[in-house]
């Protein structure tokens, strides 16, 4: 029994950063269960018909490439800051007051914002 009809994402590049082939796998898995993938930023994808796969591939490639570039820039900035003697990360001795629950945080966050 299907639990939902659609998955809504802000943008297709938020589905995965693992590349085009993984994005296609995720989309195919949704199609197998007759679940629609809706992107708020790429609403035009629903109306382009046969070219959908080409545009999805292009968006997936761009997302993967941009993710790698952003990571490289971040690492370079952190290396530069370390070379200047700056501390990277949380201040020493700083701890969370309440231990974080790792499982289900997306659902809890959505409930807190009134989305669910």
Q: What is the pLDDT confidence band of residue 11, given thresholds at 50, 70 and 90? A: confident
For the whole model, what pTM was predicted? 0.53
User: Is pLDDT larger for residue 77 or for residue 27?
Assistant: 77
Angle at 37 between CA 35 and CA 39, to 5 degrees: 160
What mean pLDDT is reported for the chain? 80
Domain extents in the chain = 6-90
Distances (CA, A) of 79 to 65, 83, 92, 96: 21, 6, 19, 26
């Amino acid at each position: 029994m299907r639990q939902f009809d659609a998955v809504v994402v802000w943008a297709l590049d938020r589905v995965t950063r693992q590349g085009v082939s993984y994005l296609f796998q995720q989309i195919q898995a949704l199609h197998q269960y007759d679940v629609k993938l809706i992107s708020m930023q790429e609403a035009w994808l629903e109306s382009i018909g046969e070219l959908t796969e080409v545009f999805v591939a292009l968006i997936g490639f761009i997302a993967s490439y941009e993710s790698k570039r952003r990571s490289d820039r971040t690492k370079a900035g952190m290396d530069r800051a370390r070379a200047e003697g700056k501390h990277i990360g949380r201040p020493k001795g700083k701890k969370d007051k309440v231990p974080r629950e790792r499982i289900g945080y997306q659902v809890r966050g959505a409930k807190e914002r009134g989305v669910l």
